């Protein structure tokens, strides 16, 4: 509500979504289908308030006095990523304090391997290239305490066909729960499609190769199997088993999870729209008559089968903060003049979080930090 009233955000909410482990539709998607729907509005509001926003400026170190209070920062203006020698040194005096909202370190391979040696450069990241952790290290250099830094989360939605957070994650996350996720090596399902992001990512990593989530257009199931080199008999058997549970209104399939219930809820919330979208594929008031033999012949998705690959996304560790967003030092006391919010802060979510609730560490603690730093 604060963002809506102050920065005119959330004016174009177009969809409620199952996202990142939700059992019901809680997450909502803006028209822009990305965080730009919030960030651009916030940027415009900040500019209108007279906030000076510097681009191409890299933090070198935080400056403190003899008592440990943060006085400002040494920066490199005119910085051209990733050339650390580019630009020129400048100093910024902080009369009130410094808020670190610098993001995380998922693109810093050496740093992330300090906490999880498995995370070599073989793993990509959906974060922007500059998420390399310099601000975290700068804070550590003045005595800031980090917490849960090894709680590095993977996202089960990326593809080896593109870098960063592009089209594939958007597609895959919308298909989750409406199509089987299978191991292409044997054509079988290997985990519940509605599991949270950590559960699904861990399962993909255990496979050792990308998985497939099915949302393609073919005439037969055998064609799907052939297109992706799967064992046709095993794949067809998996679909038959899935269909059987849905048609019998049973939800005790240990691999099915809450998919049948999810689609029944969709139908109950909006039966007319569901009927329009699924043509003649439902009957007897069941939201999902998932006859794949017919569905694959007529159902069309914008892309072929997604190929989920576990990529590094957010990490839940970072600088230790208190309820006032103050950064905690090694003496377990707040460092005067230093605050953190967003992915730079740790300990907010625990080992895993539901999709869309990054709003907690980003916006909620960002606002708390902003209000407190100007006191």
The CA angle 353-197-204, to the nearest 5 degrees, is 150
The domains located in the chain, with CATH, are 54-151+316-373 (3.50.50.60), 158-310 (3.90.700.10)
What is the CA 233 to chain-centroid distance, rounded? 35
d(CA 200, CA 292): 23
- What is the torsion angle, in degrees rounded to the nearest 10, for the CA atoms of residue 165, residue 171, residue 174 and residue 180? -120
Can you point out the beta strands (E) in 148-220? Answer: 152-158, 181-183, 188-189, 212-213
Q: What is the DSSP string of 223-272?
A: HHHHHTT--HHHHHHHHHHHHHHHHTT----TTTTTHHHHHHHHHHH-HH
Rg of the chain over all Cα atoms, to the nearest angstrom: 24
What the block records as the tokens of 237 is 């058997």
Say which residues have a Cβ less than 8 Å from residue 231's Cβ, sequence separation at least 6.
186, 187, 225
Say which residues have a Cβ less than 8 Å from residue 327's Cβ, sequence separation at least 6.
100, 139, 144, 145, 319, 320, 321, 334, 335, 338, 339, 340
Residues found in the chain: 375
pLDDT score of 297? 27
Mean pLDDT by 10 residues, the chain (375 residues): 66 62 71 79 92 95 98 98 96 97 91 89 83 95 95 80 74 72 88 79 84 77 86 88 66 51 47 36 29 31 38 76 98 98 88 74 92 95
Nearest 5°: phi and psi at 125? -135, 145
CB distance 163 to 89 below 8 Å? no
State the burial class of residue 261 (Cβ atoms within 10 Å of its Cβ: 0-12, 13-18, 19+). middle
pLDDT score of 191? 82
User: Residue for token digits 């960063």?
Assistant: 164
Q: Is 27 helix (H, G, I), strand (E, B) or coil?
A: strand
Helix, strand and coil content of the chain, in percent to the nearest 5, comes to 30, 20, 45
What is the CA 364 to chain-centroid distance, rounded? 17
Q: pTM for the complete prediction?
A: 0.78
């Amino acid at each position: 509500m604060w963002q809506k009233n102050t920065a005119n955000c959330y004016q174009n909410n177009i969809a409620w979504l199952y996202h990142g482990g939700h059992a019901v539709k809680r997450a909502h998607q803006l028209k822009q289908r990305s965080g730009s729907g919030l960030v651009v509005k916030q940027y415009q509001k900040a500019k209108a308030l007279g906030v000076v926003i510097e681009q191409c400026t890299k933090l070198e170190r935080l400056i403190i006095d003899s008592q440990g209070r943060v006085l400002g920062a040494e920066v490199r203006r005119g910085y051209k990523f990733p050339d650390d020698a580019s630009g020129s040194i400048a100093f910024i005096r902080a009369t009130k304090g410094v808020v670190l909202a610098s993001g995380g370190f998922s693109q810093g391979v050496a740093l992330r391997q300090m906490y999880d040696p498995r995370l070599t450069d073989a793993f990509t990241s959906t974060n922007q290239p500059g998420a390399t952790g310099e601000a975290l290290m700068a804070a550590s250099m003045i005595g800031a305490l980090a917490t849960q830094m090894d709680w590095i989360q993977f996202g089960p939605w990326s593809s080896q066909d593109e870098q960063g957070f592009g089209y594939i994650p958007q597609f895959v996350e919308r298909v989750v729960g409406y199509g089987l996720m299978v191991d292409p090596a044997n054509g079988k399902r290997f985990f519940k499609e509605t599991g949270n992001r950590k559960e699904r990512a861990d399962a993909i990593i255990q496979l050792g190769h990308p998985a497939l989530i099915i949302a393609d257009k073919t005439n037969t199931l055998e064609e799907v199997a052939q297109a992706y080199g799967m064992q046709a008999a095993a794949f067809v058997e998996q679909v038959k088993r899935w269909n059987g549970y849905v048609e019998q209104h049973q939800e005790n399939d240990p691999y099915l999870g809450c998919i049948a219930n999810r689609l029944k809820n969709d139908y109950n919330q909006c039966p007319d729209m569901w009927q329009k979208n699924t043509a003649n594929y439902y009957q007897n008031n069941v939201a999902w008559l998932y006859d794949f033999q017919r569905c694959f012949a007529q159902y069309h998705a914008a892309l072929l089968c997604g190929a989920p690959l576990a990529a590094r996304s957010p990490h839940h560790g970072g600088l230790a903060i208190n309820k006032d967003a103050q950064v905690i030092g090694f003496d377990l006391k707040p460092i005067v003049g230093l605050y953190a919010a967003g992915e730079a802060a740790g300990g907010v979510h625990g080992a895993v979080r539901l999709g869309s609730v990054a709003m907690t560490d980003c916006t909620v603690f960002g606002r708390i930090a902003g209000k407190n730093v100007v006191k």
